[in-house]
Amino acid sequence: MSNSTLLAPFAGSDWRLVGWWTPLLMVGIWFLVRLVTPPHSPHNTSEVRALPGPSRPWFGWLLGNMAQLADHRETLIHPDWFQWGWTGMYESLFAQKRIYTFDPAAVVYIFAHPDEFERPRDLRTILGHIMGSDSLVVNEGEKHRRMRRALNPAFSAGAIKDMLPAIYEKAGELVGLFERLIDDDGLEGYAAHPPAPEDRVRGARKIDVFKFAGNLTTDVIGVAGFEHDFNSLSPEDDSPELLANRFNRLVDAANGMVLLTEAQNILPVLDKIPTQSRRVIGEVRGQMERLSDVGTDAGAKDLLSLLVKGNTATKGDQHLSNDEVRAQMASLLFAGSTTTAATISFILFELAKLPEWQEKLRAEVLASDECPPFEVINALPLLDAVIRETLRLHPPASCTCRAATKDMVLPLSKSIPLKDGRVIDALPVRKGSYFFISMVCLNRLKEIWGDDAEDFNPARHADPALPRMQVPGVWGNVSSFISGPHACIGYRLAILEIKVVLYTLLRSFEFDLLPSKPDIQHFSSLATQPQVKGELGGQMPLLVRKLRGTE
Ligand code: HEM
């Protein structure tokens, strides 16, 4: 998850959740802020104030540069801004000054030192509403270390390997569901938004692969996490109450909180306003927490049982309370489902755009048996490379942010010519400086990946000369799971799920772009979702047909 939602405040929001009164409130807050704060933030060194960056537009006193950013959800950096370099300055709401960076050395340092750069209050507030204030994602310092120690064994390589049979079973259910969707005209409305006339193709079906990948990833965390089957892969069980369906509403609701969350940096009391977004978020969180109340049995190997078992063996102040254990399960459900589903969807999209890669990958998976063991599926080189390349270009958490907890000097890979003529090789910052870190920009740097860095080319991962610089990441030379003590704890599970789903689907189906060629975009919210331009909500509609010989 990321706080990219904080940078795209208006685009794609459901205004019923935001409230008509929000703009008025914002203007009111601005006047209040101007009364109580000086025009320049006290948190900045002279070097930070002289960083290059975009100029403030005429309405910048209220929106900063946010309106310029709202239409660039893919990178969340305005394309024109690349001229300012890898580290620069922009303004957020009420002209709050922020540093953006995708300089590899700066980002490696920031992620490696969470005591010097912690998740800022606005990010923790919004994540706390969704996952609970006791969740791993929301905490810092000693409390975070204690929780991470308790959770680590449940995410070890051995524990994840044990989940393989459950993941194969769910992938098999997905295959069965796609077959039904293709065969049964009565399920057309369930498969995706109604198809355009040209998208009705004999023997094929428009299927929203993001929806069903999301149902699968929710189910996998249910089964692998606490031995609870949500049964989200059955048309008969489809209802608005289904957790997988409610996640989509949750993301919309979180967007609805964006303006207020930003304003809370200045007036924390705004967090008490009871908005409709907060009500929706509270309901979904309650549902996630109730689900993780289920009991555990001694021999079980699911995440909750492993966590409870490890926790029972732990004594004194290392022990997690029951509320803390429950909050972790809610975070895993939220953090692990949409992110993994978006990755599966973008992979299928890239393979539909570039059928030659789809064919090569299908040849690789067809050369092995059905449901191969962990060691075999994990060692398939093209499967691995396709996932790396998609996570590089489409990281589901496209950015994050951190705030400096003390005055310090940040290392840089590249010197910065300041606006006042000085050139610096390291950036002195003050306690409180706010950093917006773009993983998607870092992943696409030509200096790391070569001139074709914007293109989908899985072959690059076989080149020993790449990457050309150290990348802050725990897997695949990409920064999509970040690095350091706060790196994604679930990355092994995510990669295994993605491998199994792709392996299984490509053996049974072909994926094509729809003949109507809808404009697929990234919507960067708490997690980046695929969207169709002009339509609300996350979706990735593709044309799916059974593989010849399997009909
Ligand atoms: C492709 C899939 C995924 C991606 C790209 C991803 C990405 C990330 C990123 C970038 C962070 C760091 C956020 C920050 O500190 O700003 C993170 C943290 C986290 N992720 Fe993932 N994630 C994925 C899947 C999963 C899965 C499957 C789970 C668990 C079932 C999970 C659980 C978590 C948790 C608990 C944290 C907080 C870690 C901490 O603060 O110590 N994620 N993830």
Q: How confident is the model at residue 271 (pLDDT cuts 50, 70, 90)?
A: low
**287 has pLDDT over 80:** no
Q: What are phi and psi of 84, to 5 degrees?
A: -80, -10
Cα of 486 vs centre of ligand 1, distance in Å, is: 9
Write down all domains in the chain, each with its CATH number in brackets. Answer: 4-546 (1.10.630.10)
Say what the pLDDT of residue 187 is. Answer: 95
* In the predicted structure, residue 259 carries a pLDDT above the cut 80: no
Pocket of ligand 1 (CB under 6 A): 2, 136-137, 148, 221, 331-332, 335-336, 339-340, 343, 395-397, 400, 480-482, 486, 488-490, 493-494
Query: What percent of the chain shows pLDDT beyond 90?
Result: 56
Give the pLDDT mean for 171-197. 96
Residue nearest atom 20 of ligand 1, based on CA coordinates: 488
CA 297 to centroid of ligand 1, rounded, Å: 27
Reply yes or no on whether the pLDDT at 385 is more than 70: yes
Query: Any idea of the CA torsion for 436, 418, 478, 7, to the nearest 10 degrees?
Result: 20
Cβ–Cβ contacts within 10 Å for residue 228, how many?
Answer: 16
Distance 550 CA to ligand 1 centre (A): 36
Compute, in angstroms, the gap from residue 430 CA to the centroid of ligand 1: 28
- What rounded mean pLDDT belongs to the chain? 85
Task: Write down the pLDDT at residue 10.
Answer: 38
Pocket test for ligand 1, best of 113, 400, 488, 525 (most atoms within 8 A of CB): 488
Q: Quick one: pLDDT at residue 16?
A: 46
Structure tokens at 392: 């590089």
List of E strands, 81-240: 87-91, 97-101, 117-118, 204-208
Q: How far is the CA of 22 from the centre of ligand 1 (A)?
A: 31
- Ligand 1 closest atom vs CA 342: 1
Rounded distance from Cα 494 to ligand 1 centre (Å): 9
Nearest Cα to Cα of residue 537 among 245, 334, 216, 230 = 245
Q: Which is more confident, 298 or 226?
A: 226
Which ligand 1 atom is at minimum distance from the Cα of 139? 40
> pLDDT tens for residues 327-340?
887 788 888 999 99
- In this prediction, residue 427 has a pLDDT band, given cuts at 50, 70 and 90, of very high
- Percent of the chain residues past pLDDT 70, beyond the cut: 79
* Ligand 1 atom having least distance to the Cα of 337: 27
Which numbered atom of ligand 1 lies nearest the CA of 3?
16
> Which atom number of ligand 1 is nearest to the Cα of residue 123?
16
Rounded to the nearest whole angstrom, what is the distance from the C-alpha of residue 280 to the centroid of ligand 1? Answer: 23
Ligand 1 closest atom vs CA 402: 16
Is 488 flagged in the annotation as binding? Answer: yes
> How high is the pLDDT of residue 503?
98
Q: Which of 229-243, 272-286, 353-367, 458-472 bottoms out in mean pLDDT, i.e. has the lowest?
A: 272-286
Which of 435, 478, 470 has its CA nearest to residue 101? 435
pLDDT given at position 454: 94
Residue nearest to atom 16 of ligand 1 (CA): 400
Q: How far is CA 381 from the centre of its chain?
A: 25
pLDDT (tens digit per residue) in 118-132: 999 888 888 888 788
